[in-house]
Amino acid sequence: NGSSLNTADWSTGWYGSGITNPVNTPYELECYDPSHVVEANGELDLNLTATPESCSSVTYGEFNKPNASGIVTTMNKFSFTYGYIEARVWLPGTSAVTDWPAVWADGVSGQPPQNGELDVVEGLRGGACWHFHDSSGSPGRCVSGNYAGGWHTFGADWEPGSVTWYYDGVAVGTVTSGVTSSRMYLILNLAVDDQNHGGAIQAPATMRIGYLRVWQH
């Protein structure tokens, strides 16, 4: 309900500040720009625009991307072990999810996915999908139905040895192997790629967030 992002809890870059590189640098077609993160009217908006930008990566060096978008993370500011994560989100698109939006959590230490990656919701090829990535695989699936162009709640209950996902209050899947006990931090982002991962490219587009809450066990 504020007029600006609470920077005590959230950062607007990926492993850095200012305009930063994508999460999956080779695949994504955007740089993350703090100006594309807007808090107003009781929601947080991550805005994707067809604005060419330059950003750099320690691994891949400097490069140009055809789009700019927004990301927020609690990296180095807030992390937790076990709990229920729930977000109220308006995913971009109408009949299918466009671009590559995601609500997720990542392991604090080490190189993911060895310490876990919990995808609460990820827009993959037009669908709304959940996964838990670990060093041995990434069990999960996409949920039937249209979750684009309207408000929905996406939740994940992370317990010792299991994660159960809830979409609009309905259990949609459970994983009971490979579940990390390492601390995790939160990420919200709106990416775009060549449709090998995300859905159809739509720019401008907005991922709207009403809230993101964690109830720690």
pLDDT at res. 187: 97
d(CA 106, CA 117): 5
pLDDT at res. 115: 75
pTM as predicted: 0.94
Can the peptide bond before residue 52 be classed as cis, meaning omega within 30 degrees of 0? no
| Choice between 112 and 191, residue whose per-residue pLDDT is larger | 191
Can you tell me the mean pLDDT for 124-138? 87
Can you tell me the mean pLDDT for 30-58? 95
Of 48, 21, 197, the residue nearest 123 (C-alpha): 197
Whether residue 6 is predicted with pLDDT greater than 90 in this model: the reply is: yes
pLDDT at res. 60: 75
Strand order in 162-167's β-sheet? Answer: 37-40, 43-48, 205-215, 83-90, 151-159, 162-167, 170-175
Whether residue 51 is predicted with pLDDT greater than 80 in this model: the reply is: yes
The pLDDT confidence band at residue 112, using thresholds 50, 70 and 90, is: low
pLDDT at res. 159: 96
The pLDDT confidence band at residue 209, using thresholds 50, 70 and 90, is: very high
The pLDDT confidence band at residue 58, using thresholds 50, 70 and 90, is: confident
| Choice between 197 and 36, residue whose per-residue pLDDT is larger | 36
pLDDT at res. 113: 56
